Structure 1
């Protein structure tokens, strides 16, 4: 998603996508802090509902790829509709916080996660934005659209079929 938005040549759109992705990370981080992602692990039904909703959304984005323009909202929705992001958050973040550490280390871990993501994505997006001029050539223009659309459809089908 970020590569596609960056390749369109708009730094503003690329950074809006980063903001949306990180808002999704913050959502999952806060879900861990408040124990909400435990529901995804404890309830197969809740996980399956989120998994199917995420799969439908990814397939929709893949089919509509040429019209997929608004970075921040799409970045957020992609991240939030991904149940694996929630499972990752609940299994990864608590490893760095002792159970008797109090309430602040876990939100601090979420903040570090977001900061690392922002540094990585903020470094990646300008590089891809520069490549965007080449990618917008007539011969090359359709390739990223078709590829990202196909990848999103593939992810959606994979998520839907996962047991």
Structure 2
């Protein structure tokens, strides 16, 4: 892994199973950061598993002091980072317990692949569903639905 910057702060909000809000306090100021857990993708709002994934991440880090090691930002401006709570690597924990997919576009970690394979075999979390749909497939289907609704004769004069 390339050199990464790091920050410490308290998780003051959990947006979903792969995004948190971190409050960083420095002697100069306090500021918040939106952190995307790098290398994973959790169910979206409206998707099966969303609430459970969010609740599990809340259980792990809400109100806790964490360290975030990051290398950059995603296309939405969120900090991409590895979140550590003590010795626990939170990104891996979400995959290990079946509440997130590995996001192969950004992570080819053999460890994450192995953890996801084990969670699938054990039918943990989202893998207990009969046909879990990845968040990226779900988002694409939602975009298609929106596009189809827009193109189904809704003509304004």
Structure-1-length-normalised TM-score = 0.25
Higher relative contact order (CA 8 A, sep 6+): 1
Q: Which has more helix, going by share of residues? A: 1
Structure-2-length-normalised TM-score = 0.25
